[in-house]
Homo-oligomer: A and B are copies of this chain.
């Protein structure tokens, strides 16, 4: 099993989620994060005091998948999360030693 972690633009979340559903992914976990990278942040002004905010709102999607599905998931996310402009984000793939479904105690691919 692998854990695929994608950091994407927030407004792309629904699209990516729907595309993952379509290829048979049944679950995922999403976290609101702040990203720092090549994409520039924004300026704020309060009573003449200026601040430059370098962090950009991003969303992190984590999906645990059987090895067989890794490539399809990667492709799906890359395709749907892409706008072509800086800041589209990253996908990280890591080994997942074990997965347990708390409700049933199932482990392995059937736990996903």
A residues near B (Cβ < 8 Å) are 2-3, 6-8, 17, 26-38, 54-55, 58, 60, 64, 74, 77-78, 81-103, 105, 111-112
Contacts and interface: CB of A to CB of B under 8 A. Distances in A.
A100 B95 contact: no
A90 B82 contact: no
A90 B95 contact: no
A95 B94 contact: yes
Contacts of A87: 103
A88 B64 contact: no
A87 B103 CA distance: 8
A41 to B, nearest CB: 12
B97 A2 contact: yes
